[in-house]
Amino acid sequence: MSRKRPGGPAKGPGGARLAHVRVKTARGRKLSSTRWLERQLNDPYVAEARRLGYRSRAAFKLLQIDARYRLLKPGLAIVDLGCAPGGWLQIARAAAGGNARIAGIDLLPVDPVADALLLQADFMAEDAPAALVAALGVSPDLVLSDMAPELTGHARTDHWRVAALAEAAAQFACATLTPGGAFAAKVFSGGAGPDLLRLLKRDFARVSHFKPDASRKESAEIYVIAQGFRGRQTGEGPENATEGDG
């Protein structure tokens, strides 16, 4: 009787078993590059994204966030921060329909997405938030942020950089969202930092953390979800907000 490898074969998003592919080290290719290529070839979400025409495996992260929190609804005005290569834009467009208004911003160029307005700019630039709202034409109902900096490999530095982007995204959301709106952003393990959590609890009715199955197990990323925007609050107390673990 043959023995299965520990954990069994990898499975795709639909539960189908996938054969493991091994990549040989080629001359001139770094070991880290070989490992990245092997991981990509054996990632069921990469294969499924390719089959469905999604631009990245990250599309499944938004799908799983939405399945849990129901953020995407027809006709919403949506802003996608850090939108390259456009996987989240594709999901938002499909869910929100033709009457929706969708705008995305990224430092990198993004191939057009039907009916989405795209800005190639640094969101952290002083004039970028205003330009983004002007492009959208209305106040957003939903602000999404999958922004991530170029990682250094130094855990504390990378955590600080991700936290800074998440806080900037949250400040933008709190300054522009319509009442009842929602916000979702990438943070790192440990969840939203105390300053960000204080801001979200002040301005939203519900704050949760969630790690989609599509996030790689070894990844430190997690998402903070804030719902029920109640407008800019003058007080600092978070007593009226609820928090879940996701």
Same domain assignment for residues 115 and 181: yes
- CATH number for the domain that contains residue 164: 3.40.50.150
Same domain assignment for residues 67 and 96: yes
Residue 100 lies in a domain: yes
Residue 72 lies in a domain: yes
Structure tokens at 36: 């990245």
Task: Please report the pLDDT score of residue 233 as a whole number.
Answer: 63
pLDDT at 198 over 90: yes
> How many Å apart are CA 81 and CA 129, to the nearest integer?
10
Same domain assignment for residues 110 and 228: yes
Q: Which residues are catalytic?
A: 186
Same domain assignment for residues 80 and 154: yes
Same domain assignment for residues 48 and 64: no
How many domains would you assign to the chain?
Answer: 2
pLDDT at 60 over 50: yes
pLDDT at 4 over 60: no
Quick: pLDDT tens for 142-165.
Answer: 999 999 877 667 777 777 888 899
Domain C-terminal end among 52, 76, 97: 52
Same domain assignment for residues 147 and 198: yes
pLDDT at 16 over 50: no
> Within 13 A of 44's CA, how many CA atoms are on the CB side?
14
Residue 12 lies in a domain: no
pTM over 0.85: no
Same domain assignment for residues 46 and 118: no
Same domain assignment for residues 33 and 136: no
Ramachandran sector of residue 179 (left: φ over 0; alpha: ψ -120 to 50; beta: rest): beta
| Mean pLDDT, rounded, for 45-61 | 92
Checking DSSP bridges between strand 116-120 and strand 142-145, what pairing results, if any? Answer: unpaired
Residue 82 lies in a domain: yes
pLDDT at 134 over 90: yes
Instruction: Note down the domain range covering 193.
Output: 58-244
